[in-house]
Chain A
Amino acid sequence: MSTASYQDQFAALASERKGPEWLPALRQAAMTRFAELGFPTTRNEDWHFTSVTPIAERTFKPVRAEKSSVTLDALSPYLFGAEDWHRLVFVNGRFDPALSMFAGLPAEVTVSTLADALKTQPELLVEELGKLAQYVEQPFTALNTAFMSDGVVIHVPADVVVEVPIHIVHVADSGAAGAALYPRTLVRADRHAQVTLVESFIGLDRATYLTNAVTELTVGEGAVVGHYKIQREAEDAYHVYTSQAIQAATSTYHAFSFASGSALSRTNIYTRLNGAGAEGRLNGLYCLDGSQHCDHQTFVEHIAPNCASRELYKGILDGSAHGVFNGKVYVDPEAQKTDGKQSNHTLLLSGTARIDSKPQLEIFADDVKCTHGATVGRLQDIALFYLKSRGISAVSARALLTYAFAAEVLETIEVDAIRLGLEALVFERFTNGVPA
C-alpha cells in the first residue's frame, strides 16, 4: 500500500495549481503528512473494523476535464422535489453552472465555489480553511487537503437567516471511473445566523471511483446550522467523508447522515461544543444490502459547560452487509453540567449481516449526566405474527416493522422534503416494490 503514486500525482499537479501563496504550503504540509501516515490499517484503533485495502491497493487519479453530460432530469430524483432550494452541482468534481442555481440568496450571504473564493475571499479562507479538519492524525483528510480541487464556501453573516436550504450536489457518472474526487466545503455561520446545508453524494452510473470529502463548519454564538449528508454513491464506489464542526455558546448544530450507497464507505461526523450552552445533535440512518460496508464514526467533544448532545444512529442491514458504528463522547474536566445521550440500534435482516458497534464515553468531569445504549437484534417474531394475524402479508409486515424501526430516527429530520423523501425511499426499499 504505497503512497508514492499520490506523491507523484501531487508533484505533477503542482505547476497547474493556482491560488493564494499560503495554499501550496498547506497542501505540501498535508501531502508530507499523508506520506508519513499512509493509509490506515485495521491495527489503528479508529479503523479496527474497516479495512481500506480496496482503496489503498488501487490508485485513483484526478479526474480529466471533460464536458458534463448530466442533465437536470437525471438529477431530479435526487433533489427531494425541492426545486426552490439553492443548488450547487458538481459533476465528477467540477462545478456545473448550468445545473446550479443560487442567485436568490439574501444579499449579505456569500456562496461561492472554492475556486472562486480563493480569488475573491482569500482573507476568509486563510482564516478558516484547514483549521478545523485536522489532517495530522487523519490520512484521508490529509489527502483531501493536499488535493482539494473544488467545493463550496458559504458565509452567513450575523443575524441573517437563510430560509431555504442550500443543496450541494456531488454527482459522479461513468466519467468518474478510476478517479478520486476531493470536494471541500467550508461553512461559516456568524452570531445568530441560521442556515441549512444539504450535501448529496450521488452516483448515476456504475463506476469505481473514490470520493474523499471534507467539510468544515464554524457555528457562531446562538447560530443554528442544519447539516444533512445524503450518501447514495454508485454501488462500486468508495466514499470517505469527514466533517468537523465547532460550536460557539448557545449554538445549535444538527447533523444527519443517511447512507445507502457505495461498496465501502466511512463517514466521520465530529463536533466540538466549545461555548457554554451549545447543543449538538448527531443522527443517522444506514440501510445496507449485498456486500456493502458502511462505517460511521462520531465524536462529540464537550469542552464547555452546560452543553447538551443527543445522538441516535440506526442501521438496517440485509444481505451480507457489514455495518460499523463508533460513537465517542468526550467530556472535558471543564465541561460541568454536561448532558449527553447516545444510542445505536441495529436491525439485522439476514443471517449473514454483521454489525460492530463501539459506543464510547470518556468522562473527566463529575457533574455530568451521560448515557449510551446499543442494541442489536432482528424483527420480533411476535410482532410479525401479530401483523399477519391481522391479515397483513408477511412481506408487508416486515416492511412495516422495518420502516417503523427507521421512522424514529427519520423523525429527527427537520426539513420536511428530506424526511418525506427518505421515508419513501426506506419504505420502497423494504417492500421491494411489492405494494403494501
Chain B
Amino acid sequence: MSASIETLVNKEYQYGFVTDIESDTIPVGLTEETVRLISAKKQEPQWLLDWRLKAFRRWLTMTEPSWPNVKYTKVDYQAQTYYSAPKSVKPLQSLDEVDPELLRTYEKLGISLTEQKRLSGVAVDAIFDSVSVGTTMKDELKKAGVVFCSFGEAVHEHPDLIQKYLGSVVPYSDNFFAALNSAVFSDGSFVFVPKGVKCPLELSTYFRINAAETGQFERTLIVAEEGASVSYLEGCTAPKRSTNQLHAAVVELIALDDATIKYSTVQNWYAGDADGVGGIYNFVTKRGKAMARAKISWTQVETGSAITWKYPSVILQGDDSTGEFYSVAVVNNHQQADTGTKMIHIGRNTKSTIISKGISAGHGQNSYRGQVKVLPKAEGARNYTQCDSMLIGNKCGAHTFPYIEVANDSATLEHEASTSKIGEDQIFYCKQRGLNTEHAISLIVAGFCKEVFKELPMEFALEAQQLLGISLEGSVG
C-alpha cells in the first residue's frame, strides 16, 4: 500500500465529534411509563398517546426479525434511552434563538441553519437527538401554502392532518421496528403540500445523533395533495462511539392523484471503526402510497451505519401510478447492509423501476433484497429491475435476493442482476492515462453509480460522490 493510500485509510470519520451540550435525558429502559413520559414531554393529545400505547403493546408481542442477511449482537431494548433533547430547546420564534453550540455543530457538519442558506434554495429542518432544533425558510414556504415543520409542532398545529395520515401507510403493527418507532418516536419532519402546489424549495432534514446510549426514533410524514409536488432530502451523521446505537425510523409518503414526491437520502451514520466496533444500527421502514397517476421516487445513497436494514417501498395503489427506486449502497470494513425495495402493483398500468448498485469492499457484506409483486387486478403492470454489484477485495460479499411474484398475465417484468469484480483492465487503462489507482477506482465507481447519482438533487449529487470516495478509501492496496 502506498503512503498516500495509507493516510487515506487512517482518515477519520469527519463527523465523529461529540457536541458538549446539556441534555434533558430520560432514564434508560422501556416500559409503558416511558411511552407516557415521552408523550407527556411533548404535550401530546390523548389520541396520540393511545396510538403509541397500542403500538407498544403490539411491540411486546413481536419478535425481532431474523431473516435479514446480517449478523449483529442483538439490541438490549432495556439498556437504551428513548428520549434525549438539548436542554435549551424551547419553542423558538427564530433561529437566532437557537443555542449557538448547536448552530456551531451544524456549521461543522456543513449544514448552515442561518439565513445565508437561503441562497441555495433549500429549507432545512435540523433534528438533534430526539427533537427538532429549528426549521429554516418557513416563511417562504408558508407563502406557497407548504407546511414544513417538526413532527412535534405539526401534532399541535395540524392535528387533523396528522390524525388522518399517521400510520396510514406504515401501520403501527407493520413490523417489529415500526411498532417500536410508533411507541417511542420523539420527533421528525412533517411536510404537507396542498393541492396543485409545486413546492418552491428543496426540503431537507438533517438528523444528528449526539447523546450516548440513545436511540433515535424519528418519524417523517410527507403528504402531497392532488397535483402537488415536492422534493425532499435527508442526511444523517453521528459521533464515533464504541457502542452500537439504534436508529429505527419510519417514513410515510402519501402522494394523492397526480402528485409527485421525490425522496432522497444520503445516509452517513457512523459506520463503526475498521474492526467493526461501534456504529449505528439503522433499522428503517420507509413506504409510500401512490394514488392515480402519482409518482413516488426513492433515491438513496447508503454509505454509513454498521448494519442497514431498509426497504423503501411503493404501494402503487392508483391506476397509472409510478414507483422508482434508485440506490447506491456501499459497505466497507465490517459494515453489513440488507437493503432493497418493494413495489406492490395494485392499480392498472402501474410502472416501477428499480436500479440498485451495491459496492462491497473490505469485509463488507451487501445484500439486495427486493420484491416486485403484481396483484391479479394490476392489468398492464410494468417493472424493470437492474441490480449490479461490484466487489473490491476478496473478503467481502455481495448477495441478491429478488422476489418476483406475478398474478396477472398482462404484466411485463424484467429483472437483471450482475456481480463482478472491479475491472482490472479499466484500472489499467486509467493508470496508463496517468491516474493513480485511488483515482482510477473512484472514477470507475462513479461511473458504476452514475445512473443513481443523476437522480439526486444537483448539490447533493456532488456530495454523494465525494462521500462514496471517502467510504471506499483504502479499500484497495
A interface residues, Cβ below 8 angstroms from B: 45, 49, 333, 336, 346, 348-378
Instruction: Decide yes or no whether B408 CB sits under 8 A from chain A.
Output: yes
B window 375-409: CB within 8 A of A: 376, 389, 391-409
Known A-B contacts A370-B418, A372-B400; the reply to A346 vs B406 at CB < 8 A is yes
Residue in B393, B399, B408, B411 whose CB lies within 8 Å of A366: B393
Bound together, the chains give a CA A128 to CA B411 distance in angstroms of: 47
- Given contacts A360-B402, A369-B420, A376-B404, list 20 more A-B pairs with CB under 8 A: A333-B394, A348-B408, A348-B411, A355-B405, A355-B406, A356-B403, A357-B405, A357-B415, A358-B403, A358-B404, A359-B400, A360-B399, A362-B400, A366-B396, A369-B418, A370-B418, A370-B420, A371-B417, A372-B417, A373-B415
Residue in B67, B398, B407 whose CB lies within 8 Å of A361: B398
Residue in B67, B392, B411, B420 whose CB lies within 8 Å of A377: B411
Bound together, the chains give a CA A367 to CA B395 distance in angstroms of: 11
Bound together, the chains give a CA A293 to CA B393 distance in angstroms of: 42
A370 contacts across to B, CB distance below 8 A: 418-420
Residue of A nearest to B397 (CB): A364
Pairwise interchain contact B413-A374, C-beta atoms closer than 8 A: yes
B405 contacts across to A, CB distance below 8 A: 49, 354-357
Residue contacts A-B, CB under 8 angstroms, 22 given: A45-B67, A348-B409, A351-B376, A354-B405, A355-B404, A357-B403, A357-B405, A357-B415, A358-B401, A361-B417, A362-B397, A363-B398, A365-B394, A366-B396, A366-B421, A368-B421, A369-B421, A373-B415, A373-B417, A374-B413, A376-B412, A377-B413
Instruction: Decide yes or no whether B64 CB sits under 8 A from chain A.
Output: no
Interface size range of chain B in the complex: 20 to 34
Instruction: Decide yes or no whether B414 CB sits under 8 A from chain A.
Output: yes
A373 contacts across to B, CB distance below 8 A: 414-417
B417 contacts across to A, CB distance below 8 A: 359, 361, 371-373
State the Cβ distance, B257 to closest chain A Cβ, in Å. 27
Instruction: Decide yes or no whether B220 CB sits under 8 A from chain A.
Output: no
Instruction: Decide yes or no whether B173 CB sits under 8 A from chain A.
Output: no
A351 contacts across to B, CB distance below 8 A: 376, 408-410
Q: Which secondary structure characterizes the binding site on chain A?
A: strand
Bound together, the chains give a CA A334 to CA B411 distance in angstroms of: 40
Over the window 349-387 of chain B, the binary record of Cβ atoms lying under 8 Å from chain A Cβ atoms (1 yes, 0 no) is: 000000000000000000000000000100000000000
Pairwise interchain contact B402-A377, C-beta atoms closer than 8 A: no
A49 contacts across to B, CB distance below 8 A: 405
Pairwise interchain contact B403-A371, C-beta atoms closer than 8 A: no
Pairwise interchain contact B399-A368, C-beta atoms closer than 8 A: no
Bound together, the chains give a CA A11 to CA B395 distance in angstroms of: 50
Q: Which of B396, B406, B408, B421 has the most CB of A within 10 A?
A: B406
Residue in B67, B402, B407, B420 whose CB lies within 8 Å of A374: B402
Pairwise interchain contact A375-B413, C-beta atoms closer than 8 A: yes
Bound together, the chains give a CA A223 to CA B391 distance in angstroms of: 33
Bound together, the chains give a CA A231 to CA B389 distance in angstroms of: 37
Bound together, the chains give a CA A378 to CA B407 distance in angstroms of: 12
State the Cβ distance, A329 to closest chain B Cβ, in Å. 9
Pairwise interchain contact A363-B412, C-beta atoms closer than 8 A: no
B407 contacts across to A, CB distance below 8 A: 352, 354
A378 contacts across to B, CB distance below 8 A: 409-410
Pairwise interchain contact B394-A359, C-beta atoms closer than 8 A: no
B376 contacts across to A, CB distance below 8 A: 351-352
Pairwise interchain contact A358-B402, C-beta atoms closer than 8 A: yes
State the Cβ distance, A185 to closest chain B Cβ, in Å. 32
A365 contacts across to B, CB distance below 8 A: 391, 394
Bound together, the chains give a CA A356 to CA B402 distance in angstroms of: 10
State the Cβ distance, A311 to closest chain B Cβ, in Å. 13
Bound together, the chains give a CA A377 to CA B391 distance in angstroms of: 32
Bound together, the chains give a CA A377 to CA B401 distance in angstroms of: 21
Give the top 8 A-B pairs by smallest Cβ distance, nearest first.
A348-B409, A366-B391, A374-B415, A361-B400, A357-B404, A376-B413, A354-B407, A371-B418
